[in-house]
Structure 1
């Protein structure tokens, strides 16, 4: 696995910063974000996709990214699409 750094939350400090990367092998988007609080997790379970179990499976997490990171997330999506097109 080789991660391409895309961007970090410019409004966060030196540690615990929400960050986005793209896995150059799989073109997966890899995110670091704030762990969602229990109320958010409960609402995600309650409003889960139709036909899906109302649980957050082991190995999955609900994370929260600041809205001002949308441009960084778009950049990650674009980088993943470009890499997949070359593949």
Structure 2
């Protein structure tokens, strides 16, 4: 796996997550962030896209849109 780090929230105290990564071989994305545990929010999400036992919902702040966009543009997997 050739995991490329694209960036983390520059406004997060402690210089920790959330962060964005992308596998340069497959193009898959990896998001590190706050795990959503609010039952009402999870129920709302599950109404459109049911969650498997192996899945979770991660919150990334809107201010990270440039980092996420950069990861999306980083290259097209062939």
| TM norm structure 2 | 0.85
Aligned length: 77
Larger radius of gyration: 1
Give CA-to-partner distance per residue, 1:13-39, whole Å, 9 cap, x none: 226410001101211111111111222
For the structure 1 residues 59 and 9, does the alpha-carbon distance in structure 2 shift closer, same or farther, using more than 3 Å as the test? Answer: same
**CA RMSD across the alignment:** 1.6
Q: Which runs of 5+ in 1 are unaligned?
A: 50-54
Contact 1:22–1:28 (CA<8 Å) still a contact in 2?
yes
Give CA-to-partner distance per residue, 1:23-61, whole Å, 9 cap, x none: 012111111111112221111012x14xxxxx3102111
Give, in angstroms, the shift of residue 2 of structure 1. 1.7
Q: Which runs of 5+ in 2 are unaligned?
A: none
